[in-house]
Amino acid sequence: MAYIWLSAGFILLIAGANYFVDGSSKIAAFLRVPPILIGLTIVAFGTGSPEAMVSIMAAIEGNAGMSLGNVIGSNVFNTTLVIGVTAIIMAIRVESETIRKEIPFTLLATTALLVMISDRTLQGHDVNVITRGDGILLLLLFSIFMYYIFEAAKNSREANTVEQETGTKASWMKYTLISVVGLAAIIFGGQLVVTNSTTIALELGMTQTMVGLTIVALGTSLPELVTSVAAALKKQNEIAVGNVVGSNIFNLLFVVGVSSMITPMEPEAKIGTDVWMLIFLTLLLLIVSRTQYKVGRIEGILLVIGYAAFMVYVIM
């Protein structure tokens, strides 16, 4: 039965992604803001909600390994496989602002997390702990990111003096409904995939930590994958890139911040290596994005290989 529900989840993910991209891109046009800002916020936070739900619930249950493993594994998946597969299907154009500001901010957030889980190395403590104070700091960094987004949206609207479609009340309701229905299908489909793939994996003898870094991380990141691929196919490259970058920032700052505010987390020492690998892969994304301001098929293949290497490391 789990295999049937797993298939149903994939169908919902694909169908929901198409509706969500159509609705959100139209809303961006109505608001007169660049699609990249919609991708960094509405789309990213929407597709990132499965990671938030899984990690926060794991933190409440005291399973820091699953909570952090899901966040780190999801960000690795987003940075490599989502961008890589999307670029292989169709080259992705990357805005200069994304290269100069948003990807470096992701790198900063990842480095901040690395510092917070390095108590044994930096301070000689017996265990590594992400405290409630660390959680508050992460949420403050997240508020800075949101302030940047709102300022960018405001400046974009003021600079864009060309008359654009503002949308009637009926149009707003129509495309908002399309977006909500698409997002609901993505979240529900993602939950079906996570629940049933986890059940299958545990039956095959995998540990909770490995499930968090692999099956759960992959399952909760499927919304980002199908949404970015759908956006690229619809020529909405900015949404495709913004979805990944925004989701990574959301996971690192908001999800980990809220999780550690609920209950301080004691991550395993070896998870620091996974964070180092995430930093390296984020740097790799920054480097390949600077090649003619796009991620082409060759760079996409390189990123997919990076994900394969990470999975081999995790399994071994």
Residue 160: is its pLDDT beyond 60?
no
* Residue 17 binned pLDDT confidence (cut-offs 50, 70, 90): low
**Could you write out the DSSP letters of every residue in 247-290?**
HHHIIIIIIHHHHHHHS-B---TTHHHHHHHHHHHHHHHHHHHT
- Burial annotation 27-49 (CB, 10 A radius, 16+ → b, else e): bbebbbbbbbbbbbbbbbbbbbb
* Alpha carbons 40 and 10: distance in angstroms, whole number: 24
Better pLDDT: 222 or 276: 276
Label the pairing between strands 92-93 and 294-295.
antiparallel
DSSP annotation of 295 reads: E
Q: What is the mean pLDDT of residues 239-243?
A: 78
SS3 294: strand
Structure confidence at residue 14 (pLDDT) = 67
* Alpha carbons 238 and 233: distance in angstroms, whole number: 12
pTM for this predicted structure? 0.78
State percent of the chain over pLDDT 70.
Answer: 82
Please state, rounded to an integer, the average pLDDT across all residues of the chain: 79
Q: Which CATH architecture has domain 2-157+166-315?
A: Up-down Bundle (1.20)
- Residue bearing tokens 């990213």: 44
Give me the residues paired with residue 92 across strands.
295
Structure confidence at residue 232 (pLDDT) = 77
Better pLDDT: 52 or 109: 109
Give me the residues paired with residue 265 across strands.
130
Domain ranges of the chain: 2-157+166-315
Do the beta carbons of residue 152 and residue 37 sit within 8 Å?
yes
* Alpha carbons 20 and 185: distance in angstroms, whole number: 9
Name the token pair of 272: 């620091």
Give me the residues paired with residue 294 across strands.
93
Structure confidence at residue 163 (pLDDT) = 47
* H-state helical runs in the chain: 2-31, 35-38, 44-47, 49-60, 64-76, 83-89, 96-97, 103-116, 119-123, 132-159, 169-203, 208-211, 217-233, 237-249, 256-262, 271-289, 297-315
Residue 206: is its pLDDT beyond 70?
no
* Alpha carbons 8 and 2: distance in angstroms, whole number: 10
Do the beta carbons of residue 14 and residue 221 sit within 8 Å?
no
Do the beta carbons of residue 58 and residue 220 sit within 8 Å?
no
